[in-house]
Amino acid sequence: MNAKFLILTALFLLSASPGIPADMLNCTAKDWTVAAKAAEAADAPLLVLYTAEDCNYCERLKREVLYPLFGRDQAQPPAVVREVDVNTGGKMTDFDGELIRSRLFKKRYQVFATPTLLMLDSSGRLLARPIVGYNSKTEYLSLLK
């Protein structure tokens, strides 16, 4: 069993893309006031990416589009990005500082599939229609524009 664990761990580490910023995504937002302040300070929109742990399309979207666009290599990233697992439960702090159940937050933006990308202002208002799903890098980049 230990040998199997070591092999799986080694395969995982080898498959991880080098240079992927650890703090860009997987930065779950339990307090949206903090994310909003970061977006305001950067004078940038807030991108909220809803993902699921077993979503291969989510991983492809992050690796092929989001990491290159919003990674550490950018001197001034064009947006503040936060990732939320669609299955996350419990409460979070909403943009107005009040506690809200995560399912109600998700329902507000009509998130029903992964990946779903929301573009919000610092008050939590949608700036564009959500982008649902992922087919290809080229198609997704055109949707982002």
Q: What is the mean pLDDT of residues 62-88?
A: 81
The string of DSSP letters for 10-33 reads: HHHHHHSPTT--TTTSS-B-SBHH
User: Is the pLDDT reported for residue 46 higher than 50?
Assistant: yes
Question: So what's the pLDDT on residue 16?
Answer: 37
Q: Which two tokens stand for residue 135?
A: 């087919």
Summarised one tens digit per residue, pLDDT across range 83-104 is: 999 998 899 999 999 999 999 9
